[in-house]
Amino acid sequence: MNCHDNNLRPDFVEALEEIATLMSITYEQAGPLPDGHALAQAGLENGGEIVLDYVDHNETGVAFEHLLYMINEPPLVVSEGCTKILARIANTLKMPFKGHESNLL
């Protein structure tokens, strides 16, 4: 495990607080989902659990990719503060990240 990976969990948790809230609101507003709807995809509604499971198993790169998937698929609009956390994670992992553009990755 990379020593930086272990230090990223608080950043993932902080980002997920906002993202999970936005995801919850999005699901509430959508109501029953037809097959093929963007929100009907696997790993979105319980995405926070999936992300933290990856983090806890030292798969922070996969966790970050899943976090971006959770943001991009509905799509969600995250705050500047959350974007800064995501940028910090990406920088530590040396992964691409565009920020507040239309797609975060």
pLDDT (tens digit per residue) in 79-93? 999 999 999 999 999
Looking at residue 90, what is its pLDDT? 96
**Looking at this protein, which amino acid is placed at residue 62?**
V
C-alpha to C-alpha distances, 11 to 95, 96, 98, nearest whole angstrom: 15, 17, 18
Confidence band of 100 (pLDDT split at 50, 70, 90):
low
Span 31-60, mean pLDDT?
87
Query: What whole-number percentage of the chain has pLDDT above 70?
Result: 89
- Based on the number of CB atoms within 10 Å of its own CB, is 63 exposed (0-12), middle (13-18) or buried (19 or more)? buried
Query: What whole-number percentage of the chain has pLDDT above 90?
Result: 61
Tokens describing residue 58 = 């030292």
User: Is pLDDT above 90 for 62?
Assistant: yes
User: Is pLDDT above 90 for 31?
Assistant: no
Q: What is the DSSP letter of 40?
A: G
Tokens describing residue 57 = 């198993």
Return d(Cα 95, Cα 75) in angstroms, integer. Answer: 20
pTM value?
Answer: 0.84
